[in-house]
Structure 1
Amino acid sequence: MARELSQRDQEILKKCAPECGDLLCSESGVTYRSVLPPVANHYATDADDFRQRLSRLTPDELEHLAALIISGEESLCCLSPDYFAVFLEQVTEHLGKTARREMLNAYRSSEDCFI
């Protein structure tokens, strides 16, 4: 579901990708509608870099993203399996196994899911 990033979403995006100058996708020219896909696909150089970027987030910020994923507002479908695995590690570590299961179910049910 497309959405406009809230102020909090923008802060989380900038925390993960401080080099993000604006909220426009350089490839499509469209405003970002999610946080995780731009970080993974435009700023992180590999899964380890993605891990370092996500490690900057507080449990509260991860919980915010998880709630948006559950509501269908945050997209996971553009995350490749290795990047999703990194996100899942962070969720499991900070939010627990229930949140992990919810994220895995959300990823598997994404229309363009890689798994």
Structure 2
Amino acid sequence: MSRVFSDMDKQIFDKLAPELSGNTTSSAGHNYPFILRPISHKIAESAEDFRERMERLNVEELDYLVKLALEDKEDIHSLEPEDIDTIMELVEQKISAQRMKELKQHLGIV
């Protein structure tokens, strides 16, 4: 099932990958089904780069991604392991430890 990016999705994607100038299509010509996976696997050059990009998000944007993940509309499972750690740390710092626990439980991370 392919997901069409909402305005909020595009706003977050542009903030995380401004160098793509709003292009949400893969090199194969398909629309990205998720926001975080292409950032983790194709765009960020390192774990540090991924963290730097994620730190650009405000609380509302980060919580929006958590909500999508809890609804299985955003893929966190297949990110690089250190990128998953970054997301968990930022959720705990910017939102709450409870929200991080909720996300970890949903993803089956102990």
Give TM-score scaled by structure 2 length: 0.89
Partner Cα separation in structure 1 for residue 105 and residue 81 of structure 2: 13
Unaligned 5+ runs, structure 1: 110-114
The match for 2:105 is: 105
Whether 1:47 aligns to 2:47 is yes
Cα deviation, residue 95, structure 1: 1.0
Cα deviation, residue 5, structure 1: 1.0
Cα deviation, residue 72, structure 1: 1.1
Cα deviation, residue 39, structure 1: 1.1
Partner Cα separation in structure 2 for residue 100 and residue 87 of structure 1: 9
Residue correspondence of structure 1 range 19-38 to structure 2 within 5 A: 19-21=19-21, 22-26=23-27, 28-38=28-38
The match for 2:87 is: 87
1:40-68 CA distance string (max 9 Å, x none): 11110111100100010000100111111
SS of structure 2 residue aligned to 1:23: coil
| RMSD value, Cα | 1.8
The match for 2:18 is: 18
Unaligned 5+ runs, structure 2: none
Number of residue-to-residue matches in the alignment:
109
Q: Is the 8 A contact 1:2 1:73 kept in 2?
A: no
**Percent identity over the alignment?**
29
Partner Cα separation in structure 2 for residue 10 and residue 102 of structure 1: 25
The match for 1:62 is: 62
